[in-house]
Amino acid sequence: MIKKEMIAMLLAGGQGSRLGVLTSKVAKPAVAFGGKYRIIDFPLSNCINSGIDTVGVLTQYQPLRLNTHIGIGIPWDLDRNIGGVTVLPPYEKSVNSEWYTGTANAIYQNMDYMDSFNPEYVLILGGDHIYKMDYEVMLEFHKEKGAEVTIAVMPVPIEEAKRFGIMITDNDKQITDFEEKPENPRSNLASMGIYIFSWKTLKEALLANSDQLGLDFGKHIIPYCHQRQAPLFAYEFNGYWKDVGTLESYWVANMELIDIVPEFNLYEEYWKIYTKSEILPPQYIADDSWVERSIVGEGTRIFGKVYNSVIGCGVTIGKDTVVRDSIIMNHTDIGDGCELNKAIIAENVTVGNGVKMGVGEELPNETEPHIYSHGIVTIGEKSVIPEGITIGKNSVVFGVTAASDYPEAYLGSGKTLIKAGDES
Amino acid sequence: MRAIGIILAGGNNYRMRELSQRRAICAMPIAGSYRSIDFALSNMSNSHIQKVAVFTQYNAISLNEHLSSSKWWDFGRKQGGLFVFTPAVTAESNFWYRGTADAIAQNLTFLKNSHEPYVVISSGDCVYKMDFNKVLEYHIAKKADITVVCKDMEPEINVDRYGILKMNEESRIEEFEEKPVVARTNTISCGIYVVRRRQLIEMIEKCIEEDRYDFVKDILIRHKNMKRIYGYKLKEYWSNIATVEDYFNTNMDFLRQETSDFFFRQYPDVYSKVDDLPPAKYNIGAHIKNSLISSGCIINGTVEDSVVFKKSYIGNNCYIKNSIILNDVYIGDNTHIENCIVESRDTIRANSYHKGEDGIKIVVEKNDRYVI
């Protein structure tokens, strides 16, 4: 009979709308990070490094890139006879077919999957954070405290506490109360959205609340358990943990990787981050080029100058091009003589010769100022930028654009040019 | 699937000097992220040859480990597969492989149990990219018994370390000499052959009877008049890493755009075992010109006209020129390395100076390394 001690359920269905065009066609966990990785590589690698070999990945929004990336889980050693990684999209049933309406609803709809492994404990994870964590240690804490639910928490500066779900604990770390985005927080322990449930507790809680619309862990399941006086404990995590939910935080987290001794160290031997590598060849750095304070992925050819940037795999940077403070994702071609400043360029983009980005004054973006801000230029995947165009700051371009789309070869600061959509 | 593959990876070559002490020739790292045998293996896989036997012998540990999983080259496990044969003691024999033909002879059941009509034999120490189906079609069209893939070398090149062939107008091989002192032509044998499987079994069985062990001398050269042996000219890049100079030049060839485009930017790809290393990191002070840098490297110094393999660390103020830095090397600050091949897993102390004066210097230095 199959029995797994702990299985993991990874919630990867969200859109991540605050990443703008980066997630128009791609779920947030599949967005590239750190040159060659994708955001979901971090929780997946954490699972296998913690000894968890059964992971259900719940997808919903635009899962194609994610599914291709995960495959049967070979890169994370999750190709197993029993267990391994399984992608779980919403599915039709004979009655009551529905999309996943909330985080806990998604888990509830996959009860049979979880039951088939007869687990003792279930680990609930989000798929959109950058961190390294040994879940085995969290499980030991859970067992030691006799908890039914353990919530991973992170101490945050008290001024920031009002942005999070806050847990109030006693000396033994048992949770006595919690508040969602409180004006006057009583503690600084923020919930990370990572939970370990004893399976019996989770199953009972899900079944009891199955009718709740938009069933959510933070809003419904945890309060339900607390009301029933189930022992809830807070596991304090003190390592690097970054939410890359906005373009600005995404950019900052990438840039932190290029410090001399980065806080988040990818070069550690014993806790490797695995990913699906499509490209193997080494990078070629030409004569007359310059690469400084940057990280570069495999198969990239650099003929220009790159400073303070994160470059993905299979990228070509043309001659006399200067790239600063930018993130360029896989398979993108940057032409000759370009100048890129604080740009985030998605995958498979073609940028023509002599294009300048991120120049001029900074103006708020005209359509979505809260998404495209901080002077970042965003170019969505598979876009084409013709030769000689100049693009200002806080702008966004998405789609195959032609010279005619740019009056006077100029896209001002704060402008939005989105041409992608269904071909007619 | 019309053919099965055999890769001869068991030999040693003393002209590789200290480099062959650490590993088999076919496991020599090439072009940053690959090993020599990856080229032959990828060609087999891309030509849809699903079943490949690799004969290893000399210093086989790292080679066997590299081949431990057939999935990197896409060798199907149910239909076909990758078989690694290292000599084993059996009731019939307790000899090592005494030669290329002997290696095949000791594993004759591999050939006998297959049903594919043809066998493609390649040596594992050649760097090349080809579709074996083209040679197979040529072999069938010429009604050849054996087809030898060959290449015309440039007139200036010294060919006395290769097998030289002379073909007639129909490409039938009339003369074949192994490493002649005076070569009559500049057409060399590439070490790649196509034979009919049953034919090969017959010829090997004859070798066993006569106690002969070498494929080239005892099968090809001996039978050149009795069997129809044809030459197939290979026009694209081919290189063989038989000497330290050849190995060095082959790696440096990948700095040229045509060569690296041919191998890496043209379909199909060359595959290798994946190493899960982070992207290369260029810190302040890194100054790279015309070089290949692999994953996992951390560069703080100057690197010119060089190939740096995986996971190497180059300290501050270093000057690396015209050199090959193999895998997992730690180079301390202020070091000067020129015209060298630095052996893998070396730790070079700070303030060292290594320069190859007449030819390539091989640097083997194992100091204590403090892992941060």
Provide the pLDDT for residue A424.
38
Q: Which of residues 290-309 of B touch A (CB under 8 A)?
A: 290-296, 298, 307-309
Q: Is B271–A280 a contact, with Cβ atoms under 8 angstroms apart?
A: yes
Q: Mutating which of B38, B264, B282, B321 best tests the A interface, going by the most A Cβ atoms within 10 A?
A: B282
Chain A touched by B270 (CB under 8 Å): yes
pLDDT tier for residue B371 given thresholds of 50, 70 and 90: low
Provide the pLDDT for residue A422.
54
For chain A (length 424 residues), average pLDDT per consecutive 10? Answer: 91 87 91 93 94 94 91 90 91 84 91 94 91 95 95 90 87 89 88 94 93 89 92 93 89 91 82 87 93 94 96 95 96 96 95 93 89 91 93 92 89 86 50
Provide the pLDDT for residue B359.
84
What is the predicted ipTM? 0.86
Provide the pLDDT for residue A199.
95
Over residues A260-300, the pLDDT tens digits come to: 888 888 888 788 899 998 778 999 999 999 999 999 999 99
Q: Is A285–B276 a contact, with Cβ atoms under 8 angstroms apart?
A: no
Q: Which of residues 5-44 of B touch A (CB under 8 A)?
A: 31-34
Chain B touched by A72 (CB under 8 Å): no
Nearest neighbour of B281 by CB, restricted to A74, A275, A295? A295
Q: In chain A, which residues have their Cβ closer than 8 Å to the Cβ of B255?
A: 284
| Average pLDDT over every residue of B35-61 | 93
Chain A touched by B59 (CB under 8 Å): no
Q: Is B260–A294 a contact, with Cβ atoms under 8 angstroms apart?
A: no
Using DSSP, state whether A66 is helix, strand or coil: helix
Enter the pTM of the model: 0.89
Q: What is the distance in angstroms between the Cα of A382 and the nearest Cα belonging to chain B? A: 19
Residue A75: closest C-alpha in chain B:
B276
Q: What are phi and psi of B253, to 5 degrees?
A: -60, -30
Provide the pLDDT for residue A420.
67
Provide the pLDDT for residue B365.
85
Q: Which of residues 271-300 of A touch B (CB under 8 A)?
A: 272-275, 277, 280-299
Chain A touched by B61 (CB under 8 Å): no
Provide the pLDDT for residue B20.
86
Provide the pLDDT for residue A314.
93
Dihedral sign (CA B321, B323, B328, B330): negative
Over residues A395-420, the pLDDT tens digits come to: 999 999 998 888 888 888 888 998 86
Provide the pLDDT for residue A224.
93
